[in-house]
Amino acid sequence: MPALRGFLWLLGFLLLGETLVTLTCLPVSAGVVGLLLLTAWLRLHGGGLADIAAAAQPLIAVLALLIMPGVVGAFFILDALEGQWTAILAALIGGTLLSVLTTLWLMRRLMGAPDENASP
């Protein structure tokens, strides 16, 4: 039952993101807006919920399958992307570098400084 409640929480924030994107005409994915709202809500309420974690674990296990439709969809529009390869490569390289740097920054910030007295 916790996984079902957690899935309903995730679905609720996705629908809230969809509503905000539709009402404000934001050029952002509804899923991204929903996850930002979920993140803000969790920060305000002091951390994660066990229900959301129970729903997220199975989804993480099949993450590649969740990404697959977008990859397959891109295969069918290759003709439309013909003159855009420089922009696509720049976006891929820049996005990868930004995600790695953001992950590093967050990891250092959340884990704190290493203890110098700790033995390896």
Could you tell me if residue 52 is inside a domain? yes
H/E stretch holding 49: none
Alpha-carbon distance of 110 to 97, in angstroms, equals 20
- Is residue 117, in this structure, part of any structural domain at all? no
Q: Residue 105: pLDDT band by 50, 70, 90 thresholds?
A: very high
Q: Rg of the chain over CA atoms, in angstroms?
A: 19
Domain count within the chain: 1
Count of all residues that appear for the chain in the document: 120
Quick: pLDDT tens for 6-62: 899 999 999 999 999 999 999 999 999 999 999 899 888 866 688 888 888 888 888
pTM above 0.85, yes or no: no
Residue 113 has pLDDT above 90, yes or no: no
Task: Name the residue type at position 72.
Answer: V
Whether 67 maps to a domain, the answer reads: yes
Residue 53 lies in a domain: yes
Q: Is residue 85 part of a domain?
A: yes
Give me the domain span that covers residue 27.
2-111
17 part of a folded domain: yes
Cα dist from 113 to 29, 108, 109, 110, whole Å = 35, 7, 8, 9
pLDDT for 15-29, tens place per residue?
999 999 999 999 999
Is position 120 within any domain? no
**Kind and range of the H or E run holding 81:** none
Residue 44 lies in a domain: yes
The CB-based long-range contact list for 85-94 (8 Å cut-off, 24+ gap) reads: none
